[in-house]
Amino acid sequence: MKNYDFSGRVAVVTGAGGEMGRAIVRRFADGGARVVLLDIREDAVAGAARDLGLEEGSYLCAAADVSDPDSVAGAIGRITEEFGRIDFLVNLAGIEGPNNSRTEEYDVRLAEKVFSVNAMGTLLMMRAVLPVMQAQRYGAVVNFGSVSGMFGYQGEIAYGASKAAIIQMTKNAANENGGNGVRVNSVSPGWVNTAMFRRILKQYESTYDDPMENVTFGPMGRPAEPDEIAGIVVFLCSDEASYVNGSNWLADGGMTLG
């Protein structure tokens, strides 16, 4: 497992209270970055910071509702006041919504919630952070798409469409910023061994006798572990990826090969 040199850098990770967020935070911290842990509840990220053993002064925990412009603006203002810069932004925060509802049966209010957190949350965070990076003439953003945003899986119209929007927004922002020292890329995982995976399996119980009947891992035969995805994230933020801009990194273990 390679550690990149992130000394003097500041990394902001949304959705940092979950397993994937913790893995990403740990990789940045191992590289010497100061890390900002953002989540809807501050106690969730405070617990993550304790569990990870982060050193006092090397991190900041903050609550932010990424779907709320005022909440996002307040959090970014606090971060810049505390650390003076933002070098890396990882837009991980997201919700799955229903994963077993057909299009004609999908609850409109739940669809709006999925879009507000996943797509609008990504947009609002980029909208608040990109000016900071532009002023520095340095920065890297990693957004989270999904295989669901690339392929039309049944029962996932809101989640899949929200992730497709994120992949497209990534390309738009990358095109706008590629010449000013700021790069924007996305990662699109398949199944990852997290609480979201387990919640989706629980939803499948209403349709399948064995929920795993609707899960395809592909030739590797297993879900990714959070740290495997975290490794891609920190690479995309590192100077080794200095010419990578506007890309969508598919990380699915081959599940979409057919």
First to last CA, the chain: 30
- φ/ψ region of 254 (left if φ > 0, alpha if ψ in -120 to 50, else beta) reads left
DSSP state of 225: P
Residue 159 among the catalytic residues: yes
* CA dihedral over 227, 229, 234, 235, signed as positive or negative: positive
Of 127, 130, 150, residue with least CA distance to 138 = 130
Q: Which of 159, 204, 208, 243 is catalytic?
A: 159
Look at residue 200 and give its three-state secondary structure: helix
- Residue listed under structure tokens 């006041």: 81
The values of phi and psi at residue 5, to 5°, are -90, 105
- φ/ψ region of 177 (left if φ > 0, alpha if ψ in -120 to 50, else beta) reads alpha
Contact 234, 24 (CB under 8 A): yes
CA-CA distance, 101 to 203, in Å (whole number)?
10
Would you name the residues annotated as active-site residues? 159
